[in-house]
């Protein structure tokens, strides 16, 4: 998923990011990221079927924790962003939609597990 996120960010920076305000570009990037993650996660769920809804929920929780950890470590220590700047991306009231990506990463394994089992997860 790291590569998908990086490619999504690069696509934003190299294409539409310069054509619109940063906030709008961020919002578009969140939506395209969610769509790209949906395709990838769907493929993973089909390949590695979870034995139960509980197992799928645990996978989503682990992915959520790893995503937040990676974003924090990479953003703060490698990109040099302040903690305040990183937390700003979580502020839905400021129009930042990053929490939607996190919610999707957490929920998607369960959603696709349920779909794979015909709604009986």
Kindly report, residue by residue over 22-70, the tens digit of the pLDDT. 999 999 999 999 999 999 999 999 999 888 999 999 999 999 999 999 9
The pLDDT of residue 118: 77
The 10s digit of each residue's pLDDT in 82-99 is 999 999 999 999 999 999
The pLDDT of residue 116: 85
SS (H, E, C) 68-98: HHHHHHHHHHHCCCCHHHHHHCCCHHHCCCH
- Return the closest-CA partner of residue 1 out of 104, 79, 120: 104
The pLDDT of residue 119: 63
The pLDDT of residue 81: 94
| Local confidence band at 8 (pLDDT 50, 70, 90 cut-offs) | very high
Per-domain boundaries in the chain: 2-116
Q: From residue 76, give the alpha-carbon distance in Å to each of 2, 27, 65, 69, 73.
A: 16, 21, 16, 11, 5
Is residue 35 within 8 A of residue 100, CB to CB? The reply is no
Cα–Cα distance, 35 to 12 (Å, whole number)? 14
- Is this prediction's pTM over 0.85? yes
The number of helices, as runs of H, and strands, as runs of E, in the chain is 5, 0
The pLDDT of residue 74: 93
């Amino acid at each position: 998923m790291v590569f998908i996120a990086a490619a999504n960010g690069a696509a934003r920076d190299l294409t539409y990011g310069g054509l619109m305000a940063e906030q709008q570009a961020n919002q578009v990037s969140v939506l395209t990221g969610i769509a790209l993650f949906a395709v990838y996660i769907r493929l993973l769920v089909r390949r590695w079927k979870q034995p139960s809804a509980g197992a799928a929920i645990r996978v989503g929780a682990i992915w959520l924790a790893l995503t937040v950890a990676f974003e924090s470590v990479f953003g703060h220590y490698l990109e040099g962003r302040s903690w305040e700047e990183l937390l700003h991306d979580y502020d839905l009231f400021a129009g930042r939609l990053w929490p939607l990506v996190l919610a999707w990463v957490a929920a998607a394994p369960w959603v696709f597990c349920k779909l794979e089992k015909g709604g009986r997860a």
